[in-house]
Structure 1
């Protein structure tokens, strides 16, 4: 049996993504924060696994990622051993003569785990911390135009928001669904059963926040907040 080198902590939440078993649960990893390229390079130096400086490593990584993106845009696939990447086209073509239409079709980059990353899975111990307290959580969002999950946003089109205890309820002025850009500017959405129309957001990255006073069988005195743990992108 391999040595356990890593630990992942997770809480259990009601599984609203499938309807087969109304009592089943889904595990959600507890992530302290998102690491940047610089963070990872600094950690490599601190652990003693690097023979170059953190700044030199970060520079090389940025050069690699920039060139990888360039080659992906030319239709090449990439296999780093740790992940594979490829360019895909979403959308339906109604006839053999139909050409690519940006209003109907979209280009996406798809990433999947590679053999070297899969080889690390036996070294991970998963600690289930129990059922999460009765708090709201966003589990998944789907951009209905592109089919992208937890990634792209298409302004003016629908976004399906799935989660636990995120039904909007209450008359507190903070209740609602918000798109928040990195500067903290908030764009509020008028939802319909958490199937929302994405507002005309400028290109950039956004976090998604749901604020509600909903709880099973009653209304909370104070609103609670659920934030998707991934950034969403408008191209």
Structure 2
């Protein structure tokens, strides 16, 4: 479980997060939603321990994430930021292999190579592993970055808008894969993902964290948080949750 206690954070004197208190269940897929400027990316960086709050605390499995050494944090959480930098001539396999660095510190063993193979296979990248990143489509490249986070072998994967600029095919592909690896089982990961696509959140998320103006509005199971009234209030616009082919969809009204 990730426990967020009374989190406050300011930048240049402006409040970005204000008294955010929530619990994110272990395992499953949690979507962080809210309007632009709500503090979603900032919250994700706090969960990863890369931003120290001005007040409050984030605990991952009972331990204060900001009090950990970098290598210890890297064994607890994997963070994929928005628009990660691309080294054009880097191969897909080399990128995914970077996820193993916290474990081998430059001396990869057979186990590390095996886990890179596993990540490549899981995200359907084995046939592309020798391709250079700049030769891939946007969807293929994004899958490679998510595979790198997976290869880090952490209990938690924190992903900041991994669907940005992807067409529906690739966006759905990534969500299907993330949803599958977060299902209950001995190797299940906890996935926390910042999403602007409410349709994807409605279909795949188990838990919803809703932020607005830096404050927590909802932290609840999807069926409780994603209602017509709640979403319309969160985004200050008319939104309706309806069922289509037994799946919830969100439409403007």
Fold in common (TM above 0.5): no
Larger radius of gyration: 1
Please classify the TM superposition score into its range, dividing by the shorter chain length.
Answer: under 0.3
Higher relative contact order (CA 8 A, sep 6+): 2
More helix as a share of residues: 2
More strand as a share of residues: 1
